[in-house]
């Protein structure tokens, strides 16, 4: 290791070069206490893990001019729909893309200039305060109410189903 100029050195000592650390003969094993053994666990409040999910927040501004929020606060609509977009992208094992957000905003009618009144009532209740970190379970409910089978479909098919019968996009009661 290099030393500052003011540190005296013994000119008779040989300078030591780099040497590799000793080789470890055993392979690495994920046996630490915090390691997850097997597949990602599922259940209430565990969500859907996926890579680089925060990228969805960077894409939200692309929808600023298109959103029809009604009485839902923008932060709440964004928080709920971004969470839904992150779940959709994680189901495909990839980071979120703009189509995940388009699907999420479509499902809850935020891209519809005249959404069905029943859906407006549902989303006003469901999206209330979901942007607040203390309302995590309410945000999970926004995500879990959407049928995962529909989330796996292309966003244009989701839009067609929304126009035909938006109620088919939802499950009766939120599951884990």
Angle at 98 between CA 134 and CA 168, to 5 degrees: 70
pLDDT value of position 106: 93
Q: In this structure, is residue 29 part of a structural domain?
A: no
Radius of gyration from C-alpha coordinates of the chain: 25
Mean pLDDT of the chain: 85
Q: In this structure, is residue 35 part of a structural domain?
A: no
- Domains: count for the chain: 1
Angle at 102 between CA 99 and CA 107, to 5 degrees: 125
CB 159 within 8 A of CB 168: no
Q: What are phi and psi of 152, to 5 degrees?
A: -80, -10
Q: In this structure, is residue 101 part of a structural domain?
A: yes
pLDDT value of position 176: 44
Angle at 84 between CA 129 and CA 132, to 5 degrees: 20
Q: In this structure, is residue 21 part of a structural domain?
A: no
Q: How does pLDDT run across 22-67, given as a tens digit for each residue?
A: 777 788 777 778 777 777 777 777 777 777 888 888 999 999 888 8
Q: In this structure, is residue 61 part of a structural domain?
A: yes
CB 144 within 8 A of CB 176: yes
Q: How does pLDDT run across 82-103, given as a tens digit for each residue?
A: 999 999 998 898 999 999 999 9
Domain that holds residue 110: 55-169
In sequence order, the 6+-apart residues with CB closer than 8 A to the CB of 96 are 50, 52, 53, 55, 56, 59, 85, 86, 88, 89
pLDDT value of position 1: 58
Q: 144: closest CA among 54, 73, 33, 46? A: 46
pLDDT value of position 79: 93
From 29-33, 72-76, 122-126, the region with the lowest mean pLDDT: 29-33
Q: In this structure, is residue 71 part of a structural domain?
A: yes
Q: In this structure, is residue 110 part of a structural domain?
A: yes
CA distances (Å), origin 60, targets 111, 119, 163, 168: 13, 22, 23, 25
Q: Quick one: average pLDDT of 113-122?
A: 91
> Which residue has better confidence, 1 or 176?
1
Can you give the length of the chain in residues?
176
pTM of the full structure: 0.74
Token reading at 12: 């008779």
Q: Quick one: average pLDDT of 113-120?
A: 90
CA distances (Å), origin 143, targets 26, 45, 57: 43, 11, 16
Q: In this structure, is residue 99 part of a structural domain?
A: yes
Q: How does pLDDT run across 131-142, given as a tens digit for each residue?
A: 998 998 899 989
Give me the helices (H) in 25-135, please: 55-59, 74-91, 98-107, 117-126
């Amino acid at each position: 290791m290099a030393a500052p100029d003011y540190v005296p050195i013994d000119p008779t000592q040989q300078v030591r070069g780099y040497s590799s650390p000793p080789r470890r003969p055993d392979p690495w094993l994920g046996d630490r206490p915090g390691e997850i053994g097997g597949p990602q666990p599922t259940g209430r409040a565990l969500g859907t893990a996926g890579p680089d999910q925060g990228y969805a927040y960077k894409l939200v501004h692309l929808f600023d001019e298109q959103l029809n929020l009604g009485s839902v606060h923008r932060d709440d609509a964004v928080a709920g729909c971004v969470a839904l977009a992150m779940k959709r992208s994680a189901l495909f094992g990839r980071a979120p893309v703009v189509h995940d957000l388009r699907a999420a905003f479509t499902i809850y009618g935020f891209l519809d200039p005249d959404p069905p009144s029943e859906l407006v009532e549902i989303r006003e209740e469901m999206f209330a305060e979901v942007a607040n970190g203390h309302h995590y379970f309410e945000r999970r409910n926004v995500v879990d109410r959407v049928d995962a089978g529909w989330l796996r479909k292309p966003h244009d098919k989701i839009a067609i189903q929304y126009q035909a019968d938006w109620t088919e996009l939802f499950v009766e009661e939120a599951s884990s």
